[in-house]
Structure formats: C-alpha cells, structure tokens
A and B are shown apart, each in its own frame.
Chain A
C-alpha cells in the first residue's frame, strides 16, 4: 500500500519544470515534461551528482556530471545497463505526492514502460 507524501505545489513545478524536494532525508528530483510528472532520486547512482541540476531531453534526464541519460518513467540508462531509483508519483488537487518507497529495476524495461509510452503522473487540466 503506497504511503503518499505531499512534496510540492503543482504550480511551483509548472513554473520551474523541475524541483528538488526532500522526504525522510532523501532528495527527490521532480520533473514536469509534456504534462507528466516524474520523480527520481536526486543523487546520481554513477558519480553522485544532482539530477535536479540536469536537463531533460527526449524523455530522459541528463545528469550534469557525465551526461548519463535516465529514462524518466523507469530510471533506466541504456548505455550502462543501470537504474536510478524512481518513486511513484501522483497529482491531486493541485498538489504533487510521492510514495517514498523507491523502485529500482535490475533488468531493462520493455518499451511499453519507457518514455514516451510509459509516463508519470498526468497533471490534467491546469
């Protein structure tokens, strides 16, 4: 059973397109891309840079350190076969909620799970 924690106002995320929030001492990077919200652990699994300082390109967040490209819905990086933890996210009543239990894949996700088929939480009508 997901334990949802309110982490941000949707309006703030709509303004900035990305936000760094903290839940239980864990930094979580939120991204708004094409009307969907995604949540990934902020600290990169590779060299501990901050994904919240990265750019989004073609459904991937590009780590500012070494440009590892993490699929927004799954956290998977094809080039190196590794996975950034992701968090379930939902948007309700103009607020963004995260389930702080991380998901980490050990195998490459199928195409239906990846962007652009796989998506985060839809923000609905603004």
Chain B
C-alpha cells in the first residue's frame, strides 16, 4: 500500500482511473455523435437509461444513511444532489420521458422494467449493491465520480447532433442540455466528498478501484445498447470504424 496522496494527486488519480474506459468512447456513443442512429434507437436508449438513472436518489439515499452524522457537509452535498435531481424544478426523469416520447415510445414503456436489457439490469443492481453495501465514501466515488461525473463530457458531444443531425427541438432535448450543467455540479460535489473523506491510503485505493469498476460498468452498459439495438440494423458497420481509434 502506498502513501496517502495529497488532494491534488488524488483528484488526478481519480480522473486517470476512468481513462480508457469512458462511456463517451463506447460504440453507442460514437454512433450517436456520428449521426448514425435512428429515433427508435434513442427510444430504446431512453427505456434503458430510465432504469439506470431513475433510482439515483435511492442510491444516494442509501449512501446518505451510511454516512456518519459527523460528516455533515458530505451529507448536505448528497441531499443537494438529490434535491436538484428530483424537486428543485422539473424532475429530471420527466425530462428523460419527454425525450423518449419525442422518439416514439411512451411513458408506460419507459417505466416498465421489462424493457431494459440484462446489462442495464446489471448496472442498476450494481448501483444498488454498491450504495447499500460499500463504505459510504467508496460508494460516493463509484456512483458520483465514476458514473455521474462522466456525463458532461458525454453530452457535450451528444447534445449538438440531437439538434443538428437528428432534428430534435431544444425542448425535446432539454434533458441533455440540463445535464451538461447539472452533472458538472453534482460530480464536483462527489469529488469534494471523496477528496475530503478518503483519508487513508487504503480508502483512497478502494475509491480508485471503485471508480475503475464504475467506469467499466457504464462503458459496458453503453456498448450493450449498441449490441442489443443497433448492430442488427447496421450489419456493415464495424465497431472499430466507429471508434476510429482501434478497439472500443
């Protein structure tokens, strides 16, 4: 076990832990930003994405309960993320459903858990298990740093083509514009919790491992969307062509 990293070193290590496994580079993301998807592909994405992000306040609620009373600032950050996600204005999942309806699916189909694929079911289960069973700082590293903090980079690439290539209106695509800003803030709150409370080399190492696992989970989830819903429609497309950089 190494020495305790400084906060600056630890922040760099957390970011490095996601490198090479970021969901923005998965095949579904690349097809999206390349303009290769159809509206029914987005409908399937929404039907899956709802079951990953829909319970996010549940996940954070478990972490909140596991955090000690003495970590008041961290508990406040978790609560603030939950509040902005659910209550501060339009519930974020309602914006996701608005987008889904513009893609031709329905609220009922989106909310029906039978419409997610097994990899999404695995991601959701991993999120529940991590938030309920792991140390609260490690769980924060996994869910907020490893998963949520990736979102601004993903949607900065994916929001413009929604308007310019796929013809969605700003109103229909509000979910994505929103998350460029909101997950920057939510991710940073997660970083602050992890940087302040992972205060032993062992805990820092556990957080780094959790971030790597989280990034792998999100990458696999995103790749599976391509494999389940797009690949059959685009038999001639090689995933390596999408990546343009070798393996995805």
Contacts and interface: CB of A to CB of B under 8 A. Distances in A.
Interface in A17-67: 49, 53-55, 57-58, 62, 64-67
A64 B89 contact: yes
B185 A65 contact: no
A69 B89 contact: no
Given A57-B189, A58-B188, A67-B182, 10 more contacts: A53-B88, A57-B185, A58-B192, A62-B84, A64-B88, A65-B90, A66-B89, A67-B181, A67-B186, A68-B181
Contacts of A79: 180-181, 184
Nearest to A69: B185
Interface in B36-55: none
Contacts of A55: 80, 83-84
Interface residues of B, number: 17
A114 B184 CA distance: 18
A20 to B, nearest CB: 16
Nearest to A53: B88
A65 B88 contact: yes
A80 B90 CA distance: 21
Nearest to B181: A67
A80 B186 CA distance: 17
Contacts of B184: 67, 69, 79
Residue of B84, B180, B188, B192 with highest tally of chain A CB at under 10 A? B84
Contacts of B216: none
Interface string B183-205: 01110110010000000000000
B80 A65 contact: no
Contacts of A49: 89
Given A49-B89, A55-B80, A55-B84, A66 B185 contact: no
Contacts of B178: 66-67
A67 B185 CA distance: 7
A67 to B, nearest CB: 4
Interface string B40-84: 000000000000000000000000000000000000000010011
B177 interface: yes
Contacts of B90: 65
Nearest to A66: B178
Contacts of B177: 66
Contacts of B192: 58
A65 B83 CA distance: 11
Contacts of B185: 57, 62, 67, 69
Given A57-B189, A58-B188, A69 B181 contact: yes
Interface in B69-120: 80, 83-84, 88-90
8 contacts: A55-B83, A64-B84, A65-B89, A66-B178, A67-B178, A67-B182, A67-B185, A69-B184
Nearest to B77: A57
Nearest to A68: B181
Contact of A66 (B83, B182, B186): B182
Nearest to B152: A79
Contacts of B189: 57
A100 B83 CA distance: 32
Contacts of B80: 55, 57
B109 to A, nearest CB: 26
A67 B188 contact: no
A89 B181 CA distance: 28
Nearest to A49: B89
